[in-house]
Amino acid sequence: MSNYLDALRQELVAASDRLTQPSPAMARQRRWWRRSPRALAIALAGLAVSATAIAATTPWQPLFGDPGSPQPRVTGSAPPAGQLALLSVLRRPQTPEDRGVITQQTLRYFGTSTQGVYTSYIRQLPSGQGALPAILLPARSWQVPGLNKNDVLCLFVAEANADGGAKGCYTTTEVESGTAGGSLGAIVYGLVPDGVAQVQFDYPTGTQVVAVHDNFYEQRAPQNTVRGGGTTPVRPQGTSWLDAQGEPTTHQPGSP
C-alpha cells in the first residue's frame, strides 16, 4: 500500500476513534461551565443546535409494548458476528418495511423481557399466515421466569384472524440444531441457517416440503383432532434440510 494512503487510513481511523471517545477537552469544558454562568447560557443555547446531531446518531428506538410501558434498552451496534454469518436475513439492508408501521404494530408484543435490542437488525419476515407479518428481533438477552438466554434471535409469529401470536427467542446453537421455532395452531414455523432452501417434513401420511425465505419457513401441518373438538399439528416423524437443488444439506437438524 502507498505510504500516503496508509498514513491517511491511520489518520481517519484515529479521527473516528476520537469522535466516539469523550475527550479530556470535553471534561475540561464541563468544569469551565461551573465557573462562568454566561458560558453555561451559551453552552445551553448550543445544546439546542447539537441535539439534532446527537439524535441523528442514536439507534432507532421504536415503541415497544404499549405507550407508557417500560421500554427495553436498544443498541445501534451489530449482533454477534456468528449470527450475522449464520443468517443472510441479518446481512441484508434493513428496508423501510422492516421499520414500517406494520412492524411497529407487531413490536407492541415485545417488552422488557428482551434487552439490548439491535433495532437496526429487526426484520419483517415473509409470512403469509398471520394477520401481521412475522418479525425477527435480535437482542442481547431474553429473560422470562425460569429462563435466561443471551444473544438471542426472537421470533414473533402472528396468529391468523386474531390479535396475538407466538413469541420465542432462540440462541445461535438452537438455529444450527433446527430447534429455533415452534407451532401456532396449524402453523409450524422456524428459523434455519444459510444454505437451507427448503425444509422437508415426513408425516405418516406423506412428505411435505416447504420453501425457506429470509431464513424463515412456515408451513400448515396436517392436523390431529383432539378431545373436545380442537386440533393439534401432527408431529413429523422426521425433518430434513434441503439445498436449492433439493438435495440434503451437509448439516442437518439435530446434528452436532
Q: Is 18 in the site for other proteins (CB under 8 A)?
A: yes
Q: Is 250 in the site for other proteins (CB under 8 A)?
A: no
Q: CB nearer to other proteins: give 214 or 218.
A: 214
DSSP lists the bridge partners of residue 147 as 144
Tell me the site size for other proteins, rule CB under 8 A: 40
Range in contact with other proteins (rule: CB under 8 A) among 70-78, 99-107, 140-148, 152-160: 70-78
Task: With residue 15 as reference, give the H or E element that holds it.
Answer: helix 3-20
Q: Dump the DSSP string for 119-174.
A: GGG-EEE---SSSS-EEEEEEEEEEETTEEEEEEEEEEEEPTTSS-EEEEEE-HHH
Q: Is 147 in the site for other proteins (CB under 8 A)?
A: no
Q: CB nearer to other proteins: give 159 or 176.
A: 176
Using CB under 8 A, pick the residue from 74, 86, 158, 192 that binds other proteins.
Answer: 86
Q: CB nearer to other proteins: give 59 or 230.
A: 59
Using CB under 8 A, pick the residue from 27, 30, 69, 92 that binds other proteins.
Answer: 92
Per DSSP, the three-state class of 240 is strand
Q: Is 26 in the site for other proteins (CB under 8 A)?
A: no
> In whole angstroms, what is the distance from residue 112 CA to residue 69 CA?
9
**The three three-digit cell numbers of residue 148, written as one number:** 435466561
Q: Is 243 in the site for other proteins (CB under 8 A)?
A: no
Using CB under 8 A, pick the residue from 48, 56, 101, 226 that binds other proteins.
Answer: 56
Pair 139, 123: CB distance under 8 Å: no
Range in contact with other proteins (rule: CB under 8 A) among 30-38, 89-97, 136-144, 218-226: 89-97
Q: What Cα–Cα distance (Å) separates residue 90 from each residue in 9, 80, 85, 137, 156?
A: 28, 11, 9, 10, 16
> In whole angstroms, what is the distance from residue 168 CA to residue 139 CA?
12
Using CB under 8 A, pick the residue from 2, 161, 205, 250 that binds other proteins.
Answer: 2
Q: Is 173 in the site for other proteins (CB under 8 A)?
A: no
Using CB under 8 A, pick the residue from 30, 44, 69, 91 that binds other proteins.
Answer: 91
> In whole angstroms, what is the distance from residue 211 CA to residue 92 CA?
19
Footprint on this chain of other proteins (rule: CB under 8 A): 1-5, 7-20, 53, 55-58, 75-78, 81-82, 84-86, 88, 91-93, 120, 172, 244
